[in-house]
Amino acid sequence: MSLMKRFACLAVALLLAVSSRAQWNYPSTRTVEVKDTYFGKTYTDSYRWLENLKDREVEGWFKAQAELTDGLLAKIPGKDDLVREWMAMDKLQPARYTSIKYENGRVFYKKTLGGENVGKIYFREGWTGQEKLLFDPGTYKAGVTTTVESFIPALDGRHVVMGFSSGGAEFSELRVIDVDRATLLPESIYPSYGPIGWTPDSQGFFYDAGKVTDIKSLEIELNRKTRIHVLGTAVAADVDFFSNESYPGLGITPKEFPSAYIDESTPEYLLAQLSTVQNEMRMLYAPAAALQHPPVKWQVLCEPTDNLVRGLEFFGDHVYAVTHENAPRYKLVRTSVAHPDWKHAETVLPEAADSIQSVTKSKNFLFIVYSNGVVCRVVKLDPSTGKSSELQLPGSGTVLISCPDWWTDRCIVYLTSWISPTTLYDCDGATGTFAKSIFNTAISYPGYENLVTEEVEVPGHDGVMIPLSIIHRKDLPMDGSSCCILEGYGAYGVSYKPGFTVRSSIALRGVVVAYAHPRGGSEKGEAWYRAGYKTTKPNTWKDFISCAEYLVKRGYTSPAKLGGTGTSAGGILISRAITDRPDLFGAAVCNVGCANAMRLEFSSNGPPNIPEFGTVTDATECLALYEMDGVQHVRAGVKYPAVMGVGGWNDPRVPVWQPGKFVAAVQGASTSGKAVLMKVNYDNGHFTEDKAVTFGNFAGQFAFLLWQTGHKDFQPAK
């Protein structure tokens, strides 16, 4: 191509980009060429200035983007209908019970009534005692929606420490309530990620704390501590019980989260865990008596090199754990408590065809949950005999088992699927029998009998078969005329297990709802996770693309009708899917998503995530981060699909500038003329329990996707 032709093509591309910006009247976005050179290669970042959220110009830019987006979304006729539909469905639901805990004869739980915005804390004297309201967060602060993020009752059942937050900020204010008097004690602790556990005498509790109090500070997630608060004492006098400062000899890095506690089911030991996003555990332990005589002489229970993941339980003279050592789908092993030796651990349950998800302990048994990615099963193990048997579950789908009262073998099983609401069952661990729980929440919704689910496997770009879940009406025409919303995640070894949400009602409108299970999750075990991790991360978005191609090829949808979405770490997936294959999607949503991977470690939550994504200070990982980076792969003159970035102004996990910079880049580059918008949730963070906020947020995302992919119910008046 001659120089003149290249200049002409560039001029046309710039003209199209300018006309697109004018059509949607995007706020002006300046560019400043910031260059970073890593290992001999220079990377340009034109929107670095948007990272300074305290700058007035940046605040103004996000506000202008939000006003434009909110104005356009308000014109979509189906958006508010979705909110009303989900609220109506929610009101039909019976009470939902979560975080069920048992202490000293009292049962504590969070209950959310149908149609209720946030849950309240209740308790009973015994399992069948009269229910009593303990705390209503709606009464805490006038004009502020407060949610109970976490709560832990004391071992004597007389006090409960609770973590409150608002606006989706996640960082909590800790308060203690006197159960018998239903009154809050005067002390208040803020900011904290929450309580960790009580001391054995029920007079104090362990909790997370930091060195700084500004939750938007880049230091907020570094050098965390476990402190102990004794009831009735000044918070300022709380002891730094476990941190890199109190134990410099342990080599605790600034990015590790140190938590120390005594597990009620293992009162002989003081336990400590050092966590990042890395799944392999690092744990220490000591005799419980050491709590009274610091400094504690910690012993190593396990190191990350022991490859222990997904659960660890003490039982008698042994400690049991799940490992992927020579077992890509995991196995259960045990070693001596007195002298842990995981390299020579005894195999208790060998690797199976499906993957171990979790281990739960009751008085006499261990319960191991397995999953093939769609259907779960539960194995009961008697550690005293070594015998195991599979429980005959009362239904099929995703299973969670909880044993709140470890003094007995009474457990609670939660069972759900894509289109079946969660049902709770009481399980007698000794006999393996089930009965509908006193906390049962079963319900059926009108119209759902017209939906079907399909579980298929799709050929990937390299021939590997990728699981794909599809929900649609039974009478769906397979001619490519239907809109489709395809969602994916693929990170941290997290499996996208089937689970019910009222948002699936969108399928009743003829929309295909699909969930890709790309590498990076663990639907097929540890190897599946590692095949979408750091240098192998491209498999994650390529698997998503393969699932999209399958839906088009089989007639479920067509490219113009296909909307893709990814949340949080799924922002890598969606931003790279549409920069790799802009022709395959009609629209995309990057929801609180990581779209600028090379800058992740420079956010407050970045350092703890280095084990998952990598660092630019390592030559190999730097190149991997570049491949993951949606912003770095936006190219001028490309016809990109419609895009909406969504960010929470109070988000402590993924700062709003991550999707914001991606939107800025696509606004400046796309020549398709399709809308590129930035939705800013000033009343939210990464997520929130507040249904009024959550339903409105997702209704906006669905409405955008269906507007841009042509669904008749979501077209604004011209």
Token look-up 């501590």 returns 225
What angle (nearest 5°) sits at the alpha carbon of residue 260, between those of residues 258 and 264?
150
Instruction: Categorise residue 510: left if φ over 0, alpha if ψ from -120 to 50, beta otherwise.
Output: left
Class of domain 8-87+477-710: alpha beta
Sign of CA dihedral 95, 116, 146, 605: positive
Burial status of residue 709 (CB atoms within 10 A of its CB: 0-12, 13-18, 19 or more)? buried
The pLDDT tens digits for 253-271 are 999 999 999 999 999 999 9
Superfamily of domain 95-261 in the CATH hierarchy: Prolyl oligopeptidase, N-terminal domain (2.130.10.120)
Rg (CA), the chain: 26
CA dist., res. 340 & res. 336, Å (int): 5
Q: Is the pLDDT of residue 441 over 80?
A: no
pLDDT in tens, 95-129: 899 999 999 999 999 999 988 989 999 999 999 99
What confidence score (pLDDT) does residue 15 get? 47
| Least reliable range by pLDDT among 416-425, 438-447, 538-547, 630-639 | 438-447
- The predicted model scores a pTM of 0.91
pLDDT digits (tens, 9 = 90+) for 651-694: 888 999 999 999 999 999 999 999 999 999 988 778 777 888 88
- In the chain, domain spans: 8-87+477-710, 95-261
CB atoms closer than 10 angstroms to residue 438? 13
Q: List, in order, residues 6 or more apart from 147 with CB less than 8 Å away.
A: 118, 119, 137, 164, 165, 166, 688, 689, 690
Q: In angstroms, how far is CA 202 from the centroid of its own chain?
A: 32
Which pLDDT belongs to residue 646? 97
201: CB partners within 8 A, 6+ apart: none
Place of tokens 């012993």: 299
Residues in contact with 393: Cβ distance below 8 Å, sequence separation at least 6, in sequence order: 376, 377, 378, 399, 413, 415, 434
Instruction: Please write the tens of the pLDDT for every residue from 270-295.
Output: 999 999 999 999 999 999 999 999 99
How many CB atoms sit inside 10 A of residue 440's CB? 16
Q: CA-CA distance, 146 to 165, in Å (whole number)?
A: 6
Nearest to 179 by CA among 205, 158, 148: 158
